[in-house]
Amino acid sequence: MYPALVSLFLGAFAIGTTEFIAAGLLPAIAGDLGVSIPDAGFLITGYALSVAVGGPLLVVALGRVPRKLALLGVMTIFVAGHALSALAPSFGMLLLGRTVAAAAHGTFFGLAVLVAASIAPPGKRGMAIAIVIGGINIANVIGVPAGTAIGGAYGWRAAFWMVALMAAVAAAAMAAFLPRRPGRGAGGGGAFAEQVRAVGSWRVVTSYLLIILAMAAFWSLGTFIAPYFSEVAGVGEGLLPLVLLGLGLLGTVGIIAGGRYADRYPIGSITFSYPVAALALAVTWAVTASAWPVGAVAIGLVLAATSLSAVALQNRILTGAAAAPELASGLISAIYNVGIAVGAGLGSALLGGGMSIATMPLVGAALLAAGSVLAVVATRGEAPVSRPSPAA
């Protein structure tokens, strides 16, 4: 099992690296291709939209292709998108390459989570899911800084070639270690109308809403994390990378804890995480100006708590949508991006309307307080659902 999960982790690592690497490369890309930095920002917007829309559609369009073959095809598309990006002679061609890669991004996670769950032994499903999505956290700690450094030293095209190489290595590992038929083929659920009804169930919809609230809460502040620490606490630019590294490490701790406890305490992992994260953001608001290291640790606790709940929520989605596992899982990346967009948009609107950046943690705390209530209401009287047996 573990070599197969490591191969999926490597794919998640490559995809997590490219999701955030573009932000650090925007000035170089804009200068080289003759566009403004705001225009270059469409690389990030376009990527998020393609993940949100293209990923679920591609999962459904794959029909009954065996999941291993589908994953290998998706990784091939991802590598091709990065090769196109690295060779792009114009901004339009670069945007096309990023859009192609982003569609593969959303599809990969929709399939990878299902494969991880299908090959996990009883009682280890949460850990298997945590290993896959942990690739994103590790990418933020290692992959993004490394890619940014390579882009600075050798040019932005080299950074995209690096991601293409990582994805190719991941695809080779999947070809070698994934079982020939890890569960039924993508799209192997019932009729489409039946699948839509399944993802519209109370268990699944409330899980999606909880993910949106958690992402919106964090990114309403996280989008502006650098100016928050510099303006509120006077943290210099030299210390900010260390702060961000610490946040990434604490998020990884949350993923590991999620893998350990999501199977054992599937409901408690959710109902515990939201109030803890809300309290941590309230502490951030109260202490950052006078004791910024404590505020930074509190934000890291938010990441750890929401990462803990993320594993349990994805497990909850899969058990609640047994009739539509591919569609339900394929929508997860879209839901995450919706939450990020809501948080970033809300933060921008409030700051643009005159709210002090020092107050932003309270916005996230309010969203997480709402999530705390929803978590209790959504899971009241709910017995954990045992993992469905994957079809051969």
Confidence bin at 184 (pLDDT 50/70/90): low
Tell me what pLDDT residue 36 has. Answer: 85
Is it true that 2-181 and 194-379 share their CATH fold? yes
Tell me what pLDDT residue 384 has. Answer: 57
| pLDDT tens digits along 72-97 | 999 999 999 999 999 999 999 999 99
Tell me what pLDDT residue 387 has. Answer: 46
| pLDDT tens digits along 250-300 | 877 877 777 777 778 889 989 999 999 999 999 999 999 999 999 999 998
Q: How far is CA 344 from the centre of its chain?
A: 15
Tell me what pLDDT residue 80 has. Answer: 97
Confidence bin at 237 (pLDDT 50/70/90): low
Q: Looking at this protein, which amino acid is placed at residue 72? A: L
Q: Tell me if residue 57 falls in helix, strand or coil.
A: helix
Q: How far is CA 388 from the centre of its chain?
A: 24
Q: Are 375 and 270 in contact (CB under 8 A)?
A: yes
Mean pLDDT of the 341-368 span: 91
Confidence bin at 63 (pLDDT 50/70/90): low
CA–CA gap between residue 308 and residue 90 (Å, rounded): 41
- Cα–Cα–Cα angle for 356, 357, 363, rounded to 5 degrees: 95
What is the enclosing helix (H) or strand (E) of 91? helix 91-119
Q: How far is CA 200 from the centre of its chain?
A: 22
Q: Where are the domains of the chain?
A: 2-181, 194-379
Q: Are 179 and 71 in contact (CB under 8 A)?
A: no
Q: Is 119 left (phi over 0), alpha (psi -120 to 50) or beta?
A: alpha
CA–CA gap between residue 158 and residue 238 (Å, rounded): 25
Of the candidate CATH numbers 3.40.50.11030, 1.20.1250.20, 2.30.30.830, 3.30.365.10, the domain formed by 2-181 belongs to 1.20.1250.20
Going by the DSSP 8-state scheme, the letter that residue 314 receives in this structure is H
What percentage of the chain carries pLDDT values higher than 70? Answer: 94
Return the CATH class of domain 194-379: mainly alpha
| pLDDT tens digits along 293-303 | 999 999 989 98
Mean pLDDT of the 108-115 span: 88
Q: Are 240 and 229 in contact (CB under 8 A)?
A: yes
Q: How far is CA 279 from the centre of its chain?
A: 23
Model confidence at 51: pLDDT above 90? no
